Structure 1
Amino acid sequence: MQTTRRFLALTPLAFGITAVVLVYLQTSDGFSWDGVSFGVVSAVIVTAGALLTILAGAALLRLLAIRNDWAALGTGLIVATVLLAVCYAAVAASLPAGDEGWSLLYVVGPAFASIPVWPAYAVGLLIRAWRGRASRRRPGSAAGPRNA
């Protein structure tokens, strides 16, 4: 449950970074509100998908009694990669011999759109760890040792 809360707390950061990247990519040729809305909706979908795979990875690790945020993030990335690879193989196998592969964009597009969300979660974990270490070093902090 703590892993779920931790990653839910990091989700706004991951969404923000992903939204900025996707909106920039959608509006790089010229500003349009359609590009902004498509970028934001894509960021919501990609961030929700990443969060769900991270939570699925954490659930898999909980079966092995592993409760590490970095392991949950890595396992979520592996689960997402495997799911996208299976979808890619299924779509590629269904294409006729002379097809140019445009049908694969439904798998390749989300795969590329999800790239910013994974480092965003990692940056969030790094910031949280850095803040935790800084608060433990601060004299008189609640998390630090007591000098009584």
Structure 2
Amino acid sequence: MKDSDSNENSLSDKVKNALINELYNEDQNDVDKDIKYSDEALKFKNKLNSAAIKMNVLNEDIFDFNIDTLGIIEKGESIKESRKASKEFVLFILSSFIVVCLYAIAIIKIDYMILIISQVFITIIAPCIIIPISVARRKESEF
């Protein structure tokens, strides 16, 4: 450890600065070529080059991702809506089937007159109740 420290310290600051300037193609100072190409200077130059390579890796734009976040969100929303629609469709089919079965059981167990009464209710009385309620809700939603 002490030998490597002494080798690094054996180079003067002037030589180190000259090597750094040479690496970045900056101001070229006249330094003795024998000292500039000595073993210690070459080791220092190798360290500078490896540090420059590591810094160049950090400067590269490695986070250049082409992600369409809006498209991903819209696709997720469409998947969510399609699942909701299919779930509502299945629930509608099940509830319709249950209502029709209960209706058939009521006709069989009670009397056929329930069929006539329910048809009159569905065709005459239900629209008179449902239409005013839907109009009132529409007016409430407009305000």
- Scaled by the length of structure 1, the TM-score of the pair is 0.24
Between the two structures, name the one with larger relative contact order (CA 8 Å, sep ≥ 6).
Answer: 1
Higher gyration radius (CA): 2
- Scaled by the length of structure 2, the TM-score of the pair is 0.25
